[in-house]
Amino acid sequence: MPDSGPAFTVKIAETEDELRAAQALRYDVFVQELGGGGDMVDHEAGLERDRFDPFFDHMIVRDSTAGRVVGVYRLLRDDQARAAGQFYSEDEYDLTVLKSSGRKLLELGRSCLHPDYRGGMAMFHLWSALADYVTAHGIEILFGVASFHGTDVNALAQPLSMLHQNHLAPPELRVRARAESFQPMDLIAPEALDRRRAMVETPALIKAYLRLGGFVGEGAFVDRAFNTTDVCLVLDTARMNDRQRRLYTGERGA
Q: How does pLDDT run across 35-63, given as a tens digit for each residue?
A: 888 788 899 999 999 999 999 999 999 99
pLDDT in tens, 171-194: 999 999 999 889 999 999 999 999
pLDDT at site 175: 98
Which pLDDT band, with edges at 50, 70 and 90, does 252 fall under?
A: very low
Q: What is the pLDDT of residues 197-214, one digit of tens each?
A: 999 999 988 998 898 899
Query: Is 162 a residue whose pLDDT tops 50?
Result: yes
Spell 34-72 as b/e; 16+ CB within 10 A means b: eebeeeebeeeebbbbbebbebbbbbbbbbeebeebbbb
Tell me the percentage of the chain whose pLDDT exceeds 90: 76
Distance in angstroms (rounded) separating the CA atoms of residues 176 and 126 = 28
Query: In this structure, is the dihedral angle defined by the CA atoms of residues 122, 126, 131 and 132, taken in order, positive or negative?
Result: positive
Q: Residues 74-99: pLDDT tens digits?
A: 999 999 999 999 999 999 999 999 99
Mean pLDDT of 138-150: 94
